Chains A and B, each alone.
Chain A
Amino acid sequence: MNAQDIIDSLMKSFTGTISNAEVVSDIRVSAYLDKEREESVKTVCQYLKDELGFDHLSNETAVDYIQKGEIEVIYHIASYDHPVLLTLKVRLPRDAPVIESIVPVYWNANWYEREIYELFGVKYTNHPDLRQLILPDDMLGDWPLRKDYEGFPNRTANNLV
């Protein structure tokens, strides 16, 4: 299965949901998933896993675009059968980022989603155990990796100034 076939299959199955699909190279494809449409990210991931052989969630992370007012959740999904790696991105509104959990499809997304929750404040619905991963209890709610976070303890070290 090559990169172009994967994009064609995705566009055909989720018409109107997948946008900006792009073949970057022989082994890299990327696509955006519109959250407003009917299909959830879990449905797309289930299709990727069952039909297209993407059986390995390599990475899940998020980016805060403060000017555009949105948080992008990014999935890197790879396969043990073919060399293509898919970058799937979902745009979420910055004031209330809510997205469905993909733990039922990829079990290793559990801690990734807990980390994104504690650092960016993205709420995952249907997550089996949504609490902070390593952040101290009293820092939950600060969302430290958002661009407008101002809770840094010090600008410089006191004993150097």
Chain B
Amino acid sequence: MAELKENVNENIFLGESDTDEIEHIPDVITTTSMAINEFLKKTKIQDVINWGRKNSLWFMTQPMGCCGVEMIATGCAHYDTDRFGIIPRNSPRHADVMIISGYVTIKYLPALKKLWEQMPSPKWIICMGDCSISGGPFYESYSTVQNIDKIFPVDVYIPGCPPRPEALLQGFIELQKKIMAKEDHGTDY
């Protein structure tokens, strides 16, 4: 435990103030260190963990534009996303994937950042539609934020205006391939 405590300050997922005290639960070993995770990343166990992660990509229902309608259609029974383990969730605290599904305005960007910070790690971002990739038809607007990839670590881009639900499903499958190949931005390898 002493060795683990030394790595506390390197933990990026906790605030600086509450790193000093570790909560003591009877019969449970608690740690605030990432040392175990860092060790597991170098072993074959990470492949098993990634297999579990890629088959439970729960996405946050956060429709932002007309692509949100396609997102809702994807979540309905016809496409049966549950066979890939993809389930829509209503809270960012339950979700693994955030789909940026529309133009991001200057006023909406702080709210989007707050949603992203509320999601537990590991987490991934899918850019859906032309608007979120480059501004789309609104690229010259006074209020559109462009180049969202400089603000969020985007893993998959799905072009289209709007993309078909099949395209969104393919985006999820590409994300699953990236997770298995350990090339995603959600985990720091």
Which A residues are closer than 8 A to B by beta carbons?
134-136, 139, 142, 144, 149, 151-160
B144 touches A153 (CB 8 A): yes
B146 touches A154 (CB 8 A): yes
Residues in A neighbouring B145, C-beta threshold 8 A? 153
A153 touches B146 (CB 8 A): yes
What are the 7 tightest A-B residue pairs by CB atom distance, in nearest-first order?
Answer: A157-B134, A144-B142, A136-B107, A154-B146, A157-B146, A158-B147, A160-B134
* 15 A-B residue pairings within 8 Å (CB atoms): A136-B106, A136-B107, A139-B143, A144-B143, A151-B142, A152-B142, A153-B144, A154-B135, A154-B147, A155-B140, A157-B133, A157-B139, A158-B146, A159-B149, A160-B134
Q: Which residue on B lies nearest to A145, using beta carbons?
A: B142
Number of interface residues of B (CB under 8 A): 15
Main SS at interface, chain B: loop
B135 touches A152 (CB 8 A): no
Q: Which residue on A lies nearest to B134, using beta carbons?
A: A157
Residues in B neighbouring A149, C-beta threshold 8 A? 142
Shortest B43–chain A CB gap in Å is 36
B147 touches A157 (CB 8 A): yes
Q: Which residue on B lies nearest to A137, using beta carbons?
A: B107
Residues in B neighbouring A144, C-beta threshold 8 A? 142-143
A159 touches B134 (CB 8 A): yes
Whether B141 sits at the interface, judged by CB under 8 Å, is yes
Residues in A neighbouring B133, C-beta threshold 8 A? 157, 159
Sample of 18 more A-B contacts, CB < 8 Å, known A154-B147, A157-B139: A134-B107, A136-B106, A136-B143, A142-B142, A144-B143, A149-B142, A151-B142, A152-B140, A152-B142, A153-B142, A153-B144, A154-B146, A155-B140, A157-B135, A157-B146, A158-B146, A159-B133, A159-B134
Residues in A neighbouring B144, C-beta threshold 8 A? 153
Residues in B neighbouring A139, C-beta threshold 8 A? 106, 142-143
Q: Which residue on A lies nearest to B109, using beta carbons?
A: A136
Q: Which of A139, A154, A158 has the largest count of B CB atoms less than 10 A from its CB? A: A154
Q: Give Cα distance in the complex from A149 to B144, angstroms.
A: 15
Q: Give Cα distance in the complex from A152 to B142, angstroms.
A: 5
Residues in B neighbouring A151, C-beta threshold 8 A? 142
Residues in A neighbouring B139, C-beta threshold 8 A? 154, 156-157
Q: Give Cα distance in the complex from A159 to B136, angstroms.
A: 12
Q: Give Cα distance in the complex from A151 to B134, angstroms.
A: 18
Shortest A49–chain B CB gap in Å is 35
Residues in B neighbouring A153, C-beta threshold 8 A? 142, 144-146
